[in-house]
Amino acid sequence: MPLDDALAARMAEPDFWPVYLFDDDAPDVYDEDVDDQESHVARFPLGGGFALVLDLTLGLEYVGLALAAPGIPEPVTVGWDDQAHFHPHVMPWPELDLLCRVVALHDPELRHPGPMLALLCRFAFLAEGDDLDRVSPLVDAAFEVMRPGDGEGGLRAETRDWFDLRDLRGTGVVWTSRTDGHRAVDQHGDDGLPLYSLRAPDSEDFPFAAWSALLAHARERLDAAIGDRTLRAPAVLQALDRCTAPDGYEHLAALADALSDAGYTHPVLMRAVAQPSDRAEACWAVEALSGLPQGKLVPRWFGPSPLSASRSWRLSLTLPVVGRPWRFGQQVAGELSTDLQEAGLGDAEVGGSMSRPEGGGYVHVEDHLNLLIRDDLALGVTIIARTLHSYRAAETATLRHAGKGGEVIPLRQTT
């Protein structure tokens, strides 16, 4: 059983994904008895002693990822996500996609896209050169499998939220080779989202050698699955050629027949072609069988990603609160978040506060709000200004672009 019965059943409950994804409107599942906190472990095996191990404690809003590998007595943490000191930037998108493919080949119950991608995409990020046309259809498909009918067609909300949180393109992220030859990630910039990763060049905590061995093993397993000589049969090559065209998904039945007639028997890839759970599952299978580079076929079958032309801005709002009602900052943040979400433009949350000593105690001076604006910065700022003016707070509040030396944005009154 790839996922134990308790976790599989829990994932089917309506509140699981909002809690797991740290949604703002998720129900509180915290248990005051720390020993009784709800926790689960999911193991994703790749064969050869390699596995990724997910450890989640829902009430504490903690999700950890570890690597099990030959020669390592216990799984080693490679990243974690929480609401405090997170380090979720473990791997670039192509590595996660590769690992999901190989886990699916190893365990037929863990189809790709499916539970592994939905659970682990929080540990993958986008960097320079990543093509969203190759990414968003698979993330959409994974959540459609896990939360069927929860979307309204097109781009799913989970995919957009993941993109907002893990898009590090344009932030100075670079991949380098350490002196030992293993890949490490660094960030040479302070605009946009910061990089939080154990995979830094000088890190002593990331298992670089074991991770490199994991990726090499995964590539070998995938190559072995598509190295069968029957794939070179003329009828199979012709069927694959038709299936790698933009309308190729319309020819899957003919490909399945050609593979069967040629004697190709890999159960996972045959099922992905003949009985896919989603077009995206057939897509990566055809891509692998035809020898196309990873992700090459996805844009042909799905077209441009709705996120391709998308932009987002991270803003910081300093809100003085002296003389204001208790929890004034939370009230403003809640209203801003509601207004931005209803307009499809983003959200807001309190990210910190400042107090000063006074009269033997401390006085709450200001709150700091973090805001996300999607696609239309001008309209987002208009909504922020309108809300702040309604509270008579625009005159003293300061809105700026996040990051060091962020430019101040005027909060003009609108009619």
Could you tell me the domains of the chain?
5-223 (no CATH), 229-302 (no CATH), 312-409 (3.30.70)
Express each pLDDT in 272-295 by its tens digit.
999 999 999 999 999 999 999 999
Judging by DSSP bridges, how do beta strands 398-401 and 312-320 pair with one another?
antiparallel
End-to-end CA distance of the chain: 60
- At 83 the pLDDT is 86
- At 34 the pLDDT is 64
- At 399 the pLDDT is 95
What is the chain's length?
415
Residue for token pair 């003085």: 320
Q: Where are the alpha helices (DSSP H) in 31-135?
A: 93-106, 115-120
Minimal CA–CA distance to 147: which of 118, 104, 168? 118
User: Which residues touch 43 (CB under 8 Å, ≥6 apart)?
Assistant: 2, 51, 52, 53, 54, 68
Express each pLDDT in 134-150 by its tens digit.
999 999 999 999 998 76
Express each pLDDT in 331-352 by its tens digit.
999 999 999 999 989 999 888 8
Ramachandran category for residue 352: left, alpha or beta (phi over 0 → left; psi -120 to 50 → alpha): left
Q: Is the dihedral of CA 321, 312, 113, 175 positive or negative?
A: negative
Express each pLDDT in 31-57 by its tens digit.
666 667 888 999 999 999 999 999 999
Q: How confident is the model at residue 373 (pLDDT cuts 50, 70, 90)?
A: very high
- 25-34, 43-52, 191-200, 294-303: lowest mean pLDDT where? 25-34
Percent of the chain with pLDDT over 70: 96
- At 400 the pLDDT is 92
What average pLDDT does the segment 367-394 reach? 93
- At 152 the pLDDT is 60
Q: Which residues of 151-168 are buried (b: 16+ CB within 10 A; e: fewer)?
A: eeeebbebbbbbbbbbbb
Express each pLDDT in 64-116 by its tens digit.
999 999 999 999 999 999 988 899 999 999 999 999 999 999 999 999 999 99
- At 117 the pLDDT is 98
Confidence check: pLDDT of 414 > 80: no
Of the two residues 325 and 255, the one the predictor is more confident about is 255
Q: Burial level of 362, CB count in 10 A (0-12/13-18/19+)?
A: exposed
Does the pTM surpass 0.85? The reply is: yes
- At 221 the pLDDT is 95
Residue 199, amino acid: R
Q: Which of 31-35, 232-236, 323-327 has the highest mean pLDDT?
A: 232-236
- At 217 the pLDDT is 98
Q: Are 128 and 187 in contact (CB under 8 A)?
A: no
Helix 136-146 with 157-166: angle, nearest 10 deg? 130
What average pLDDT does the segment 313-331 reach? 91
Residue 274, amino acid: A
